[in-house]
Amino acid sequence: MHAGFFALLVLVGIHVFANTAKVLGWVWRGAFLSFAAGVSFAYVFVDLLPALEKGQPALKRAFGEMIPYLDLHAYVTALIGVLFYYGLHTQKVTKTNFWLTISGYLLFNFFVGASLSDSTNPEIQPIILFTIAMGMHYFIHDHNTNLDNSELYQDQVRWTLVIALVLGYVVGYLTHIPDAVVAIVISFVSGGVILNSLRYELPKRDQVGYPQFVLGALLYTAILIRVGES
């Protein structure tokens, strides 16, 4: 089976079944969620932030001298993403604000799906580690979304996230998305991913999982470093 397609099925399954974590006991659920959060948090710093730097050449080729400080453009776009999504979080919770927040993840899922359509894409190598990190991140995000708004998540959100993943895979398989478009959108959405990682994925003071969080973060980072050296 195509490795990217298999990874897609795994991520789709996580979106569909993430809410089943509630069947675990509190201690085991807290420990697993903290470990997954550590992996996801390491992904942000070890994979996602360096990816912004890798997107710079595509922006420079596309826009040349039209935009000042282009050498920092991906980071500025990510900052705008942080400000935008934080602004949504500070507003009164409404269905509109909720879906605006989710829209960032729909875009993120679309481009994850598009990346998986080419299993030789260097941005997702090694693909098994990429799938693990994304799976952990999706699990934490979906679990928290389910806690915040269970009915809406069960009926609509998880299925729209699945559709975005599959649609991205199909579009990526059938056509080529310009590198500059990918760089801009991923930079903007990365701001939301980073913000949500800081808000929702760090273990709270009264949670049991700080050691598991550290273990997950260090283990995933060590594996990435080892793979990068090989």
Q: Please say whether the beta carbons of 67 and 174 come within 8 A.
A: no
Split at pLDDT 50, 70, 90, the class of 204 is: low
Cis status of the peptide bond prior to 203, with omega within 30 of 0: no
Residue 166's pLDDT is 96
Predicted model pTM: 0.80
* Per-residue confidence (pLDDT) for residue 230, from 0 to 100: 59
Site of tokens 């299993």: 119
pLDDT, one tens digit per residue, over 65-83 is 666 655 567 788 888 888 8
Q: Quick count: other Cβ atoms within 10 Å of Cβ 100? A: 15
